[in-house]
A and B are shown apart, each in its own frame.
Chain A
Amino acid sequence: MHRYAFVLTRPLQLIPVLFGISILSFFLVKSIPGDPVRLLLGTKSTPEAVARIRAQYGLDESLPVQYLHFLENLTRGEMGHSLLYKMPVLPLIAERVLPTFLLVVGSVLLTLLIAVPLASLAALKRGTAADHAIRGFTTAGLGFPAFWLGIMLIILFSVKLGLFPVAGFGEDALTMLHHMVLPCLTVALALSAIVTRNLRASMIAELASDHATAARAKGLPESWVFRRHVLPNSLIPTINLLAINVGWLIGGSVVVETVFSLPGMGQLLVRAIFTRDYMVVQGVTLVFACATVLLNFVADLLTVAADPRVKL
């Protein structure tokens, strides 16, 4: 079978996964304590009004029936109405996809931009001051919580130096990117700590590997051996590591969007949870879960592209 055949077969395998996601996101929301209708109508609402709203939103039916309705609506791209925003959930989410998407992609790119040079330096100058300094950086990166790091970056780069905006999201491409730098950096600093450590370890193993020795026996200079043989081989486990962290990355976006007031899905989710905006919570959870599945698929694609031995 062709190595990329999984691109065609994987979607079939994903059908049960998507069912699982829909069930989980549905019942997860249902298990949240609190009554959304009373929240909507306030404490002085009459029982008749409550019953009428319940019927209007289909909340008076049994859970399995509600779930089936939910599925049926999903097939039509209908995720219900937001109680808070008084509009359909799908367009509500759609207009908030971009900041989150940019945050996740930007963070991963920035992570590689930080981790690859640092890990290379640490692996090549093993045991030197540079190596120890990088180890210190990674330890710190693992220790600091994202929200604290974000606030510190705001204080330094926005308030003191005035280089980047404090919060919010731009109007055009350029200002958007400008607004995304600090949020991405916040996530990347934490993520690159893990990635740097892993990458350094696999680079050290690859530098001592038999095929690196064989490459040196061809008379190739150390820089060539590193670029052509050590780096490609040591990036393979890094792709896996990033894939494992996809969930963490999406979860982390919630915190970071809140700190930087980014109008993304994470911020929408937090607000929806606080206001018991069931349908929005459900919708965002669903989108996040699907994004996780999709990003893992992308990671699989990258793994297959990077390692010819892998068959999925």
Chain B
Amino acid sequence: MSLLAVRDLAIAAGRHLLVEDIDLDLSEGEVLGLVGESGSGKTITCRALMRLLPEGQLRITRGSVALNGRDLVPLSEAAMRKVRGVEVGMIFQNPNSHLDPVMRIGDQIAESVRYHEGASRADARKRAIDLLRQVGIPDPAGRISAFPHEFSGGMRQRAMIAVALACRPRLLIADEPTTALDVTVQAQVLRLLLDLRDRLGLAIILVTHNLGVVAQTCDSLAVMYAGRVMERGPKRDLLRAPAHPYTEALLKCQPGSAAPAAQLPAIPGQPPLAGVFPEGCRFHPRCPRAAGICRERPALLPAGGKRLAACHFAAPPRAA
């Protein structure tokens, strides 16, 4: 059974559907890359998995988020609190703003242990030191009493990972964890995440718009565009032979795939604004293969191998 199974998830702001038809699957120890341009709905999808959408602005209108077979969508706030931090940890893009500037790092790690497990001050402190050691912070016993501003960017991201793992969750949602970091530090943080996956059997959802990061770290991939999953499946298949024209276009835009002197290729046009999505396939106005049928909405269907694609032209050859 998969650890996480998201089915038909839809998120709306008022009457506008921002994200819909989200299907995702994740098993123990798997790293799923959630890829897409800014505004494609990656972040609000992650927040929805944690039921952390800003109250009164965004809400889940449809679908299910099954964690170990239990649907989180109908859960009460109180029940949801026992999921957050305990079963699912979350780290964020900007460790500067997501750590409390006036609370000691050790206390920020220890507080969820104290709340969820009722641990004593001393035990929570021990756990905090242990976690800081696990995420590779030197002199963890001395560093637990430091404040976030006394850490470098990379160390802050490590500290945030320690905070998220404090109550030993099985699933870690990492929302662009390396975007705000230097390239050298990015690699270190990714290596740390993979290392934690190996040691703890952690499943990770890695949100990113960097296909290089995906190539290095993920096992499977879900490509989002304008609030929908365009294609998903094993990383290898998607990167080698994308079934969806959007995935293909995205891969072509990677620096390095074009000749050195040539201008970087770009997808013509702009992504649509939320709430004014085009009819049918949302990518069709920018798609080189667009045809009349693309005005009808394509379903996410098997497209050869283990992959699924939402494109009228991606269907596998019919069995004879």
Contacts and interface: CB of A to CB of B under 8 A. Distances in A.
Contacts of A214: 90, 92, 98-100, 160, 163
A308 B149 contact: yes
Contacts of B101: 211, 233, 307-309
Interface string A206-221: 0011110111111111
Contacts, number: 82
A229 B148 CA distance: 14
A216 B50 CA distance: 10
B84 A216 contact: yes
Given A228-B111, A309-B147, A309-B149, A218 B102 contact: no
Contact of A228 (B85, B103, B160, B164): B103
Given A233-B100, A306-B102, A217 B149 contact: no
Nearest to A209: B97
Nearest to B92: A214
Interface in A240-291: none
B100 A211 contact: yes
Interface in A150-164: none
B100 A219 contact: no
A69 B54 CA distance: 68
Interface residues on A, range: 20 to 34
A173 B164 CA distance: 52
Contacts of A232: 102-103
A210 B92 contact: yes
A308 B163 CA distance: 20
B171 to A, nearest CB: 12
A142 interface: no
B90 A220 contact: no
A97 interface: no
Which of B82, B83, B100: most chain A CB closer than 10 A? B100
Contacts of B92: 210, 213-214
Nearest to B84: A219
Contacts of B103: 228-229, 232
B52 A218 contact: no
A57 interface: no
A236 interface: yes
A76 to B, nearest CB: 46
B116 interface: yes
B84 A217 contact: yes
Contacts of B111: 218, 220, 224, 228
A236 B102 contact: yes
Interface residues on B, range: 20 to 34
A61 B52 CA distance: 77
A219 B147 contact: no
B62 interface: no
Contacts of A307: 101-102
A195 B90 CA distance: 35
A228 B112 CA distance: 12
Contacts of A309: 101-102, 147, 149
Interface string B47-62: 0001010100000000
B90 A217 contact: yes
Contacts of A308: 101-102, 147, 149
Nearest to A127: B56
Nearest to A212: B100
A127 to B, nearest CB: 10
Contacts of B116: 219
B115 A220 contact: yes
Contacts of A233: 100-102
Nearest to B50: A217
Contacts of B115: 218-221, 224
A236 B100 CA distance: 13
Interface string B89-108: 11010100111111100000
Contacts of A210: 92, 94, 97-98
A216 B100 contact: no
A218 B98 contact: no
A235 to B, nearest CB: 9
Nearest to A206: B100
B77 to A, nearest CB: 8
Contact of A215 (B83, B97, B100): B100
B203 interface: no
B76 to A, nearest CB: 12
A7 to B, nearest CB: 20
B166 interface: yes
Interface in B34-49: none
A218 B100 contact: no
Interface string B150-181: 00000000001001101100000000000000
Nearest to B100: A211
Contacts of B89: 217
B81 interface: yes
B86 interface: yes
A213 B84 CA distance: 12
B191 to A, nearest CB: 23
22 contacts: A211-B98, A211-B100, A213-B98, A214-B90, A214-B100, A217-B85, A217-B89, A218-B85, A218-B115, A218-B167, A219-B83, A220-B85, A220-B115, A224-B115, A229-B103, A232-B102, A236-B102, A306-B102, A307-B102, A308-B101, A309-B102, A309-B149
Interface of B: 50, 52, 54, 80-86, 89-90, 92, 94, 97-103, 111-112, 115-116, 147, 149, 160, 163-164, 166-167
List 3 A-B pairs, minimum CB-CB distance, nearest first.
A219-B85, A219-B84, A210-B97
